[in-house]
Amino acid sequence: MESLTHLDAVAAPIVVINCDTDQILPARFLQKPRSDDFGQFLFRALRFGPDGTEKPEFVLNQASFRESRIVVANHNFGCGSSREHAVWALYDYGIRAVIAPSFGDIFFINCLKNGLLPIVLPETVVLPLLEYLTTKAGSRISIDVPAQSVTLPDGASHAFEMEPFAKQCLLRGMDEIDYTLSHRDRIDAFERNRADAY
Amino acid sequence: MQLEQGVGGPQTLYDKIWNSHRVMSRDDGQDLLFIDRHFIHDVTAQSFDLLRERGLKPRSPERIFGTADHYVSSAANDMSAVTDPERRAMIVALQRDAAASNITLFDMDDSRRGIVHVVGPEQGLSLPGMTVVCADSHTSTHGAMGALAFGIGATEVAHVLATQCLWQRKSSNMRVTFDGTPGPGVTAKDLILAVIARIGVAGAVGHVIEYRGSAIAGLSVEARLTLCNMSIEAGGRAGMIAPDDTTFAYLAGRPFAPKGEEWDRAMAHWRTLFTDPDATFDREVHIDVAGIAPMVTWGTTPEYACAIDRRVPDPALQADPDLRAAMSTALDYMGLAPNEALEGVAIDRVFIGSCTNGRIEDMRSAAEVARGRHVASGVEAWVVPGSHEVRAQAEAEGLDRVFKEAGFQWRFPGCSMCLATNGDIAAPGQRCASTSNRNFVGRQGPGVRTHLMSPAMAAAAAVTGCLTDVRRLLGA
């Protein structure tokens, strides 16, 4: 996992509410090997017509948003499937943070396992921000992970919550498997001592 | 958070299972949960790659069971019917990874193969009180057995493979109480669609749902599986139902269920798996089942559902601009006009199957409507049993003949048109009456319009050629 400490980048607004994992990464690409660039499949049906040509109206196809590394989204972003491929698609495209008022539970967890930072900010901040980014295309947002702070284009800073462990993983670019394996003895003991063993 | 409630005082079913699986806690409040059962399928290849990259092997292969479902053909139970090389590679990877680690696999030639969420309960692999995970959001299905079951991503799968544990932050407790008696033609599918329509697709985000009430007590295990299956469609982390005599009767004699003394010991434990009377929930929803009619979705999220005898809602009446825009976009995609009657909307395709509605009772329910009738002209209707065992049982009961005589295609088990990963798609613009769980844009193929409904409702649509109130065909 790649570490992330600071990010200052163009933010693309995805205005639709309940943007589900099938929109982020359609199921027909689940069969692709991880070595593929999943970024090409990101928002496939929204980004491209059936013949593969770009839809000019889609945000990421507009010149000022092509270098986006942050997505700002509406409520319940990433609802639906557990497919981690949805996170890979965003990540491979170059997105390192998603800001939304709420996320699908599994998607949120999957983000943190892949170095994609999901940030929950209040609806009262995000909904006006979506509108701002739409009208002022190419606006940048700055994220300071150690300080857990987001600075919006208008200069206002907002603190965000982050679990300490997930934060350390993101700052150091490490994942949980090694950490958990270091507690192997406790897992083994738990399994041996269980009263309701299956 | 319910952490206090979990210690000493009254506990919910969720609290009890959580507490009995906690290996250790982390400073940030996450708990390491021991995982009793891990199901794998043919979208798990990337997780095994992650494991290999680290030189690790599955810690507890005896707790892992696999079955091929996403990429198998529904036209023939045969690898040679899986012609796409990438899809084939996904099944081959499952076979290779299972064999390399001595994981039990219900392979292509195994009569126990089927959709993972049909097979688990059917084989007695998903048991009350267990923690169950799988790289699939519909793992919530297994909660109907009184288990804590939830979907996880590929990295978490690798973590479970390596450690047989998972770090989790405890969700909040939510209870949905169903009371009353369902009317004719009203099934578990209608109950869960009614819940999602009520609370929304984000209504249970951050929560584990427990379903209870007199209407739940009256449901079969298969109906409960349908209900818990779609908990994720309300945003719930999991759905669960306390095990009762119905559960125990279902499990007795299942191939992997405990036997003899082990059964007695298990029963003693299972009898303790209920929410204590004084336990509190963070959120409560009450639903009178008598007020629920057969449901159908009209939009592109499961929340966009209403009774079949209603009209398409009018976005103009929605005050919130984002919600209004979302409704309008959905109606455009669905090719429906505000205030149009839902009954009578012409359909092109019918899909009866999936982990939501691919079980024997679903087959029976659809066959009852199909019997003596015929699929309407111009409609292509498929029945895809959820497992080989379901398929064999249906054939033993003559249901395959009922379907075939009525003009339905009787196909082979797998996920098929639910998410179309195996290539079972409809054509752009086609309208599909489907017993699956998601009506997302493009789910059944680019441009395909999905209406979710029960198996009986789907069969009714098949024989009439349009969305139809099944109660008319049941003589109700």
pLDDT of residue A196: 58
* CA nearest to B378, candidates B407, B416, B403: B407
CB atoms B153 and A191 under 8 Å: no
Q: Is the pLDDT of residue B4 over 80?
A: no
Beta strand A140-144 pairing with A117-120: unpaired
Digit-coded pLDDT (tens) for A174-193: 888 989 999 999 999 999 99
Instruction: Return the CATH fold of A6-173.
Output: Aconitase; domain 4 (3.20.19)
Q: Is the pLDDT of residue A14 over 60?
A: yes
* CA nearest to A96, candidates A164, A160, A145, A153: A145
* DSSP per residue, A4-33: -SEEEEEEEEE--TT-BHHHHS-GGGTTS-
Radius of gyration of chain A (CA): 18
Digit-coded pLDDT (tens) for B163-209: 999 999 999 999 999 999 999 999 999 999 999 999 999 999 999 99
Amino acid letter, residue B466: C
Q: Where are the beta strands (DSSP E) in chain A?
A: 6-14, 70-73, 97-100, 117-120, 140-144, 149-151, 157-159
Among residues 407-436 of chain B, which lie with CB inside 8 Å of chain A? 419-421, 428
CB neighbour list of residue A178: distance below 8 Å, 6 or more residues apart: none
**Over chain B, what is the mean pLDDT?**
96
Digit-coded pLDDT (tens) for B239-252: 999 999 999 999 99
Q: Is the pLDDT of residue B1 over 50?
A: no
Q: Is the pLDDT of residue B91 over 50?
A: yes
Mean pLDDT computed over B353-377: 98
* CA nearest to B48, candidates B158, B152, B165: B158
Nearest-Cα distance to chain B for A183, in Å, is 9
What's the distance, CA B365 to chain centroid?
Answer: 17
Query: What's the rounded Cα separation, in Å, for the pair B306 and B424?
Result: 27
Do residues B370 and B463 lie in contact, with contact meaning Cβ atoms separated by under 8 Å?
yes
Mean pLDDT computed over B443-469: 98
Strand (E) or helix (H) holding B31 = strand B31-34
* CA nearest to B283, candidates B148, B149, B172: B172
pLDDT of residue B322: 86
pLDDT of residue B27: 86
pLDDT of residue A195: 64
**Range of weakest confidence among B3-7, B59-63, B232-236:** B3-7
DSSP-derived 3-state class of residue B428? coil
* The two three-digit tokens of residue B334, written as one number: 């669905």
Q: Where are the domains of chain A?
A: 6-173
* CA nearest to A88, candidates A27, A37, A26: A37
- Of the partner residues B27, B90, B135, the one whose CB lies closest to the CB of residue A82: B135
Q: How confident is the model at residue B364 (pLDDT cuts 50, 70, 90)?
A: very high
Q: Which residues of chain A does B301 touch, with a Cβ-Cβ cutoff of 8 Å? A: 18, 20
pLDDT of residue B312: 98
Do residues B163 and B169 lie in contact, with contact meaning Cβ atoms separated by under 8 Å?
no
Q: Where are the beta strands (DSSP E) in B109-217?
A: 131-134, 148-151, 165-168, 172-179, 207-212
Nearest-Cα distance to chain B for A170, in Å, is 15
What pTM did the predictor assign? 0.95
Q: Which residues of chain B does A85 touch, with a Cβ-Cβ cutoff of 8 Å? A: 154
Q: Is the pLDDT of residue B28 over 90?
A: no
Query: What's the rounded Cα separation, in Å, for the pair B114 and B334?
Result: 31
Query: Which of A93-106 are b and which e, b meaning 16 or more Cβ less than 10 Å from the residue's Cβ?
Result: bebbbbbbbbbbbb
Q: Is the pLDDT of residue B3 over 90?
A: no
Do residues B58 and B64 lie in contact, with contact meaning Cβ atoms separated by under 8 Å?
yes
Which residue in chain B has the smallest CA separation from A83? B153
B136 class by beta-carbon count within 10 Å (0-12 exposed, 13-18 middle, 19+ buried): buried
Digit-coded pLDDT (tens) for B270-282: 999 999 999 999 9
- Cα distances (Å, whole numbers) of residue A102 to A112, A122, B95, B154: 15, 8, 38, 22
Q: Which residues of chain A does B34 touch, with a Cβ-Cβ cutoff of 8 Å? A: 187, 190-191, 194
Do residues B65 and B48 lie in contact, with contact meaning Cβ atoms separated by under 8 Å?
no
Asked if B89 reaches chain A (Cβ–Cβ under 8 Å), the answer is yes
